[in-house]
């Protein structure tokens, strides 16, 4: 008996897809575009009849969160067997899950990961997450989240890589490589068997929600879309990211899950995206709530014609697409295109050849010592030292430490917003980590209660206070009207300061918080994000100087909620902020500057930048920028050299500064290195409203330094013939 062409692995994938499409009914095609959650016996019949193409393992899945009861692989195999052996064509399901910051080995929240400014560390973290998830039978992870974060009230700033399009794009590439294991710039023909498919989300502009309130409406100009919100997605696509999630919200009245221009024209046509687009949860059906669709059928028509290929959790595609095709409202060519895209990824994952998971695989892959070591290194490198008057690093001999604060012995606060596969008891708390790091002569007092803490602190050399947010205060649907610290925490630091012993404040959080007063009162402030399973150990690594802090802020820290939105790469305005000058863009009741600028972070050593030069390179227009970085302190350390550019005069107002290059630089005490940044046309141009690069001749300014306020700058000129002076 000859096997059908689509089952023959020796044939090219395009041929297999074509063969399969020719055999499918309209209903089976719609089934491939239908994703449903927590598949169990209730869905067996639908799977058997080809009505479900993908499973979503949601948080509250049958598997639950208790590791002992976790049966992902078994449950997946049971249902996969029905799809493969009992459905007419035997097309396997693809299973997706929110693998956002680690899997079993919970990594720091993405905003923390971003503070490493290291695509390599993020790639390493996502490699671990991918291997752990795949061992549980998962094929597809719903990350990275690439929404530009300009409003810290929006709880989902925790899930992204911060405010800068270039930084987010570079980190996105690392995240995608870690998940998919490919280093090509195209969607691979075949994914490695131990990795998962990535999903860039939420396409696009979701973070611009008015008032920082999740799911809210947005107004974003084409200029800002092309220059700020879209570039990280383009970077992910260029790294081969195989899927994209269309967002919940609308821009100027057009919901993204029905946005023909952005999904169809930009993503699929201009960028040539060859993977598939899945809607966010329920977003296709919600077109009715948005008031652009009259009913389910209309919603399916709008979403499918706009470019959404797979419908997450509404069944609206399944129920309506066949009739819509019969009625000529959706073309069969469009339906085939969507199904072909989904099948292509299923083939690339190897599902037709290897549909099943190994139920015992996770034992050998989860929580490996080397994974824990990598995640600990990532955690320590993500922490940002915001202030230090010399109290840090702590000496580990002969001192008495007092540890207090609501988060000092908390596991959940270290976890972060997406940890469905982490186990709380596997987290090392800060208290446990410090206790484990003490020298033989060091003593540790621990106390939860403020009054007792103050008494104990009096008998100590240093007080460490762990404050900030619980993990559940950020993430989806966790928006706040204020970025003030939770109630009572400032009062705790204020009370502690009366004791005249050095205070080290460790802040856990999923968003920038107002640390204005705390920074005044404390001797040292370390922002630790929600640092994951090894995060307590990472804090101890920093406090005791085993790791010299190198984290740098991927997002501006305002002085108050009222300053929001505050981001470094803003347009200049006709009345730029000038200190102490009226009739300029400023407030009368606050300093203009942020509390901590984008890119900021201290180390236990100091760095100096000098000898900044620009020189024309052979390829025009491209310039090279060189700078010397010196470690001027007395211990080895790592800084992040950051290169910012401004197009001084252009047809549209260009931002006062834009990050165009960065590099983590490790230097021994006293050592100097020369760093090179190459600025090509993409760094010197902006995008017009159609997304085309525009490079205008004229003067540019360039700065290199340790944060977005870098003072060391120079100028260069692009002459009209495209050469550089």
Position 98 contacts ligand NOJ (CB under 6 A): yes
671 binds ligand NOJ (CB under 6 A): no
Cα–Cα distance for residue pair 115/635, rounded to 1 Å = 21
Q: Cβ closer to ligand NOJ: 155 or 551? A: 155
- Bridge partners (DSSP) of residue 391 are none
Q: What is the DSSP string of 419-443?
A: -TT--GGGPPPHHHHHHHH--TT-E
311 near ligand NOJ, judged by CB under 6 A: no
Among 201, 411, 431, 646, binds ligand NOJ (CB under 6 A): 201
Return phi, psi of residue 452, to 5°: -65, -40
Residue nearest to ligand NOJ (CB): 142
- Catalytic choice (98, 280, 309, 647): 280
CA 377 – CA 116 distance, rounded (Å): 10
What is the enclosing helix (H) or strand (E) of 608? strand 607-616
Nearer to ligand NOJ, 98 or 296 (CB): 98
Q: Give the nearest distance from C-beta 489 to ligand NOJ in angstroms.
A: 29
Please list, residue by residue across 411-423, b when 16 or more beta carbons sit within 10 angstroms of its beta carbon and e when fewer do. Answer: bbbbbbbbbbbbb
For residues 481-509, one letter each, b for 16 or more C-beta atoms within 10 angstroms of the residue's C-beta and e for the rest, the string is: eebbbbeebbebbeebbebebbbbbbbbb
* 599 half-sphere exposure, CB direction, 13 A CA radius: 27
Which residue is listed with tokens 């290199």? 704
280 binds ligand NOJ (CB under 6 A): yes
Return the number of other C-beta atoms located less than 10 Å from residue 691's C-beta. Answer: 17
Q: Which long-range contacts (CB under 8 A, 24 or more apart) does 647-652 make?
A: 647/684, 647/686, 647/696, 647/698, 647/700, 648/698, 648/699, 648/700, 648/701, 648/715, 649/698, 649/699, 650/686, 650/696, 650/698, 651/694, 651/696, 652/223, 652/686
Interaction between residue 142 and ligand NOJ (CB under 6 A): yes
* Integer Cα distance of 44 and 179 in angstroms: 30
**One character per residue 356-395, x = contact with ligand NOJ (rule: CB under 6 A):** ----------------------------------------
Which residue number, 38 or 714, has a Cβ lying nearer to ligand NOJ? 38
409 catalytic? Reply is: no
Indicate which single residue of 6, 281, 529, 700 sits in contact with ligand NOJ (rule: CB under 6 A).
Answer: 281
Q: Is 320 helix (H, G, I), strand (E, B) or coil?
A: helix
The nearer residue to ligand NOJ, 280 or 523, going by C-beta atoms, is 280
Minimum distance of ligand NOJ from residue 60's CB (angstroms): 10
Residue list 16-45, contact with ligand NOJ (CB under 6 A): none
Site track for ligand NOJ across 541-560, x = CB under 6 A: --------------------
C-alpha pair distances (Å), 590 with each of 483, 484, 513: 16, 15, 16
Compute how many other C-beta atoms are within 10 angstroms of the C-beta atom of residue 365: 20
Q: Which is nearer to ligand NOJ, 280 or 658 (CB)?
A: 280
Asked if 337 is part of the footprint of ligand NOJ (rule: CB under 6 A), the reply reads no
| Residue closer to ligand NOJ (CB basis): 200 or 367 | 200
Nearest approach, Cβ of residue 131 and ligand NOJ (Å): 20
Nearest distance, CB of residue 418 and ligand NOJ, angstroms: 9
Q: Show the DSSP H helices in 82-164 as ranges.
A: 110-114, 119-135
Where does 282-404 show beta strands of DSSP type E? 311-312, 384-388, 400-404
Task: Kindly state the smallest distance separating residue 519's Cβ from ligand NOJ, in Å.
Answer: 33
Pattern 216-245, ligand NOJ, x by CB under 6 A: ------------------------------
Task: Tell me if 507 sits within 8 A of 358, measured CB to CB.
Answer: no
- Alpha-carbon torsion 155, 159, 161, 164, what sign? negative
Backbone angles phi, psi at 457, to 5 degrees: -65, -35
Beta-bridge partner residues of 464 = 403, 504
Q: Provide, rounded to whole angstroms, the least separation between the CB of residue 476 and ligand NOJ.
A: 5
**Judged by CB under 6 A, how many residues of this single chain contact ligand NOJ?**
7
Smallest gap from Cβ 289 to ligand NOJ, in A, equals: 15
Measuring CA to CA, which residue among 207, 145, 205 is closest to residue 175?
145
Write down the least CB distance from residue 94 to ligand NOJ, Å. Answer: 14
Quick count: other Cβ atoms within 10 Å of Cβ 222? 16
DSSP-derived secondary structure letter, 713: E
Residue 179 binds ligand NOJ, judged by CB under 6 A? no
Closer CB to ligand NOJ, 156 or 431, in the complex: 156
Helix (H, G, I), strand (E, B) or coil at 32: helix
- Give the integer Cα–Cα distance in Å for 343 and 6: 10
Q: Are 163 and 222 in contact (CB under 8 A)?
A: no
Of these, 476, 592, 608, 707, which contacts ligand NOJ (CB under 6 A)? 476
Q: 531, 108 in Cβ contact below 8 A?
A: yes
Q: Which is nearer to ligand NOJ, 28 or 98 (CB)?
A: 98
* CB of 420 vs ligand NOJ, minimal distance in Å: 9
Largest interatomic CA distance in the chain: 86
Query: Shortest approach of ligand NOJ to residue 56 CB, angstroms?
Result: 6
Three-state helix/strand/coil letters over 517-549: HHHHHCCEEEECCCCCCCHHHHHHHHHCCCCCC
693: burial class by Cβ within 10 Å (0-12, 13-18, 19+)? exposed
* Shorter beta-carbon distance to ligand NOJ: residue 279 or 639: 279
Q: Give me the least distance between CB of 481 and ligand NOJ, in Å please.
A: 21
Looking at the Cβ atoms of 55 and 512, the one nearer to ligand NOJ is: 55
Q: Which is nearer to ligand NOJ, 281 or 567 (CB)?
A: 281
Measured from the CB atom, the residue of 141 and 502 that comes closer to ligand NOJ is 141
Q: Which residues bind ligand NOJ (CB under 6 A)?
A: 58, 98, 142, 201, 280-281, 476
Q: Which residues are catalytic?
A: 280
């Amino acid at each position: 008996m000859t096997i059908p062409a689509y089952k023959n692995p020796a044939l090219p994938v395009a041929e297999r897809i074509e063969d399969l499409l020719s055999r499918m009914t309209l209903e089976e095609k719609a089934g491939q575009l239908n994703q449903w959650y927590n598949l169990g016996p209730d869905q067996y019949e639908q799977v058997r009849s080809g009505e479900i193409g993908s499973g979503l393992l949601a948080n509250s899945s049958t598997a639950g969160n208790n590791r002992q009861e976790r049966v992902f692989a078994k449950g997946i195999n049971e249902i996969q067997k029905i799809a493969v052996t009992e459905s007419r064509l035997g097309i396997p399901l693809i299973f997706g899950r929110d693998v956002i910051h680690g899997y079993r080995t919970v990594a720091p929240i993405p905003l923390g990961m971003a503070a490493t400014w290291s695509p390599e560390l993020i790639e390493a973290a996502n490699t671990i997450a991918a291997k752990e998830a795949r061992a549980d039978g998962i094929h597809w992870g719903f990350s990275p989240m690439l929404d530009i974060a300009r409003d810290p009230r929006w709880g989902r700033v925790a899930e992204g890589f911060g405010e800068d399009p270039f930084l987010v794009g570079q980190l996105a590439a690392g995240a995608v490589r870690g998940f998919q294991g490919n280093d090509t710039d195209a969607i691979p023909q075949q994914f490695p068997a131990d990795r998962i498919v990535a999903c860039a989300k939420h396409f696009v502009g979701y973070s611009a929600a008015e008032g920082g309130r999740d799911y809210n409406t947005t107004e974003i100009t084409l200029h800002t879309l092309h220059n700020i919100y879209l570039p990280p997605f383009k970077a992910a696509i260029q790294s081969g990211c195989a899927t994209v999630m269309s967002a919940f919200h609308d821009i100027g009245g057009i919901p993204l899950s029905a946005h023909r221009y952005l999904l169809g024209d930009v993503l699929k046509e201009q960028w040539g995206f060859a993977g598939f687009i899945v809607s966010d949860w329920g977003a296709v059906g919600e077109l009715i709530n948005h008031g652009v669709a009259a009913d389910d059928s209309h919603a399916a028509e709008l979403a499918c014609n706009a470019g959404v290929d797979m419908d997450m959790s509404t069944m609206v595609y399944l129920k309506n697409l066949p009739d819509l095709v019969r009625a000529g409202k959706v073309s069969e060519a469009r339906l085939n295109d969507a199904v072909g895209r989904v099948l292509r990824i299923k083939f690339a994952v190897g599902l037709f050849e290897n549909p099943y998971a190994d139920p015992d695989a996770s034992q050998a892959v989860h929580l490996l010592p080397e994974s824990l070591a990598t995640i600990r290194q990532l955690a320590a490198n993500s922490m940002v030292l915001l202030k230090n008057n010399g109290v840090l690093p702590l000496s580990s001999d002969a001192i008495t430490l007092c540890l207090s604060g609501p988060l000092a012995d908390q596991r959940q606060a270290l976890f972060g917003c997406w940890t469905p596969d982490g186990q709380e008891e596997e987290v090392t708390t800060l208290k446990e980590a410090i206790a484990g790091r003490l020298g033989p002569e060091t003593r540790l007092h621990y106390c939860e209660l403020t009054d007792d803490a103050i008494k104990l602190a009096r008998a100590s050399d240093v007080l460490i206070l762990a404050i900030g947010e619980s993990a559940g205060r950020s993430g989806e649907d966790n928006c706040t009207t204020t970025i003030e610290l939770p109630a009572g925490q400032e009062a705790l630091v204020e009370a502690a300061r009366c004791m005249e012993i050095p205070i080290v404040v460790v802040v856990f959080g999923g968003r920038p918080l107002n640390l204005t007063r705390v920074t005044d009162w404390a001797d040292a402030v370390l922002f630790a994000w929600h640092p994951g399973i090894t995060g307590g150990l990472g804090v101890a690594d920093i406090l005791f100087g085993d790791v010299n802090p190198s984290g740098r802020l991927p997002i501006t820290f305002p002085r108050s909620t009222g300053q929001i939105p505050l981001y470094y790469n803003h347009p200049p305005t006709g009345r730029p902020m000038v200190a102490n000058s009226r009739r300029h863009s400023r407030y009368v009741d606050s300093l203009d500057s942020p509390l901590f600028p984008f890119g900021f972070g201290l180390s236990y050593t100091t760095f100096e930048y000098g000898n900044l030069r620009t020189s024309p390179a052979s390829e025009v227009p491209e310039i090279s920028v060189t700078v010397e970085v010196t470690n001027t302190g007395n211990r080895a350390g790592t800084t992040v050299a950051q290169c910012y550019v401004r197009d001084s005069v252009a047809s549209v107002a260009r931002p006062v500064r834009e990050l165009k290059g960065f590099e983590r630089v490790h230097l021994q005490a006293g050592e100097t290195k020369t760093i090179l940044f190459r600025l090509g046309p993409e760094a010197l141009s902006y995008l017009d409203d159609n997304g085309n690069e525009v490079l205008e001749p004229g003067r540019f300014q360039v700065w290199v330094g340790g944060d977005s306020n870098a003072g060391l700058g120079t100028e260069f000129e692009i002459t009209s013939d495209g050469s550089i002076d």
